[in-house]
């Protein structure tokens, strides 16, 4: 059974940093597209960052709204997906989720998005105050 558990959320002032981690189990971590999403109150869930499986190139994607501030990485030995978030803004306030797809590539022609994900964590809350 695939399980994803997020950690690292919290409250921070604007301009601060947080590092989210997602520990995965139940599947071969390096064979699948993994990604971070977020959902703010009253808004739709949106993709934040993603990494394709190394076997298909390990391509990464960062949403335009966080490019230059957020970095996605993975530690294959620890089966951990990380999201380093710097220069946080109040509009980054949201519940952050990690997700995994049955597919290796996150971008088979285009970004597979939330519909392409098959397993989700419970989420970790990030609150950024001004």
Three-class secondary structure of residue 69 per DSSP = coil
The pLDDT of residue 31: 86
CA distance 88 to 26: 32
Q: Over pLDDT 70: what percentage of the chain?
A: 98
DSSP string, 7-65: E--EEEETT--EEEEEEEESS-GGGS-EEEEEE-TTS--EEEEEE--GGGT--EEE-TT
Burial (Cβ within 10 Å: 0-12, 13-18, ≥19) of residue 123 = middle
Residues 98-106, mean pLDDT to the nearest whole number: 94
Per-residue pLDDT reduced to its tens digit, 20-53: 999 998 877 678 999 999 999 999 999 999 999 9
What mean pLDDT comes out for the span 94-103? 96
Q: Report pLDDT digits (tens) over 60-79.
A: 999 999 999 999 999 888 88
Q: Given pLDDT bands bounded at 50, 70 and 90, which one contains residue 104? A: very high
**Residue whose token pair is 């597979």:** 112
CA distance 108 to 33: 11
């Amino acid at each position: 059974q695939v399980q994803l558990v997020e950690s690292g959320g919290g409250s921070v002032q604007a301009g601060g940093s947080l590092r989210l981690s997602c520990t995965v189990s139940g599947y071969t971590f390096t064979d699948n597209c993994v990604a971070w999403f977020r959902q703010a109150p009253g808004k739709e869930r949106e993709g934040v960052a993603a990494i394709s499986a190394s076997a298909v190139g390990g391509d990464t994607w960062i949403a335009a709204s966080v490019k230059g501030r957020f970095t996605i990485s993975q530690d294959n030995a620890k089966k951990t997906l990380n999201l380093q978030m710097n220069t946080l803004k109040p509009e980054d306030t949201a519940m952050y989720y990690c997700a995994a797809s049955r597919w290796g590539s996150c971008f088979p022609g285009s970004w597979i998005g939330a519909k392409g994900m098959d397993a989700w964590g419970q989420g970790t809350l990030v609150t950024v105050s001004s």
